[in-house]
Amino acid sequence: MTYCLGIITSTGLVMAADSRTNAGVDYISSYKKLFDFSIAGERALFLCTSGNLAVTQAAITLMARDIKTAAEPNLHSLTNLYDVARYIGSKLRALQLEDREWLEKDKIDCSCNILLGGQICGEEPGLYLIYSQGNFIQASKETPFLQIGETKYGKPILDRILNFDTPLQAAAKCALLSIDSTMKSNISVGPPINLVMYEIDSFKVRYELKLKIGAPYLRKIRTLWEISLNQAFERMPDIDWEHYLELPDERTTED
């Protein structure tokens, strides 16, 4: 499994991904799932991938090759994010066309998702979720984050902490906590965690990190978060059972 997360705020973008891949519980390995196709001074482009690893690796390879061979269009030549998302979708469609029939013979799921976040000079920053089918949706002020992979465990914290006006450093912290919550509840999501924080109009990757297993910061936030949650829990008022007693006519006993 995988968990990747993109956040867009009024001041920038955060992209984060775990690195665990598994085909069954007995074949677990690490693959980077956050890819940086930025050009300093001109464009910031980050991709996160989830789903069938063969498909996403192939897509990344083909896109990197297009840049290298200057085949048009490519991630470095396209002039706006909408077209970049379309281009990524077209790569996924081409791969499905080639491989799907063979995978389906053995009932192998060839679905995958890609998060695209970035900004191209002269344009607003944007965050997209591209589906297996090649179509996509875009994050908005109302829904400032998009997730792919094992999304549910890490969503409650985002729902409660994040909004479009959250400071960028706080959004990055929130992304790490969201991934940490997921790792705690699902062993198929695991470190290293890759994280990028991009400041709007900087066109430069200034904040980028990789948290390996046992990284002190990761341990620190996990411990602190657990202590804080437990303290918060202690402070919650007890249940007032009398007040909310269920009425007898609503019971469903023996009939």
Give me the residues that bind a second copy (CB under 8 A), please: 32, 35-38, 60, 64, 67-68, 152-157, 159-161, 169-170, 172-174, 176-177, 181, 184-185, 194-195, 197, 207-211, 215, 217, 220-221, 224-226, 228-233, 235-241, 243-247, 250-255
Distance CA 64, CA 148 (A): 22
Q: Which is nearer to a second copy, 104 or 124 (CB)?
A: 104
State whether residue 3 is helix, strand or coil.
strand
Q: Which is nearer to a second copy, 124 or 195 (CB)?
A: 195
Distance CA 7, CA 159 (A): 12
3-state secondary structure 139-155: CCCCCCEEEEECCCCCH
Taking the complex as a whole, the smallest distance from the CB of residue 145 to a second copy amounts, in Å, to 12
Taking the complex as a whole, the smallest distance from the CB of residue 240 to a second copy amounts, in Å, to 6
Distance CA 148, CA 55 (A): 15
Distance CA 1, CA 21 (A): 6
Q: Which is nearer to a second copy, 2 or 38 (CB)?
A: 38
Q: Which is nearer to a second copy, 97 or 247 (CB)?
A: 247
| Peptide linkage before 192 cis (omega within 30 of 0) | yes
Q: Which is nearer to a second copy, 68 or 141 (CB)?
A: 68
Please state, as a whole number, how many other Cβ atoms lie within 10 Å of the Cβ of residue 112.
25
Q: Is the four-CA dihedral 199, 1, 31, 219 of positive or negative sign?
A: positive
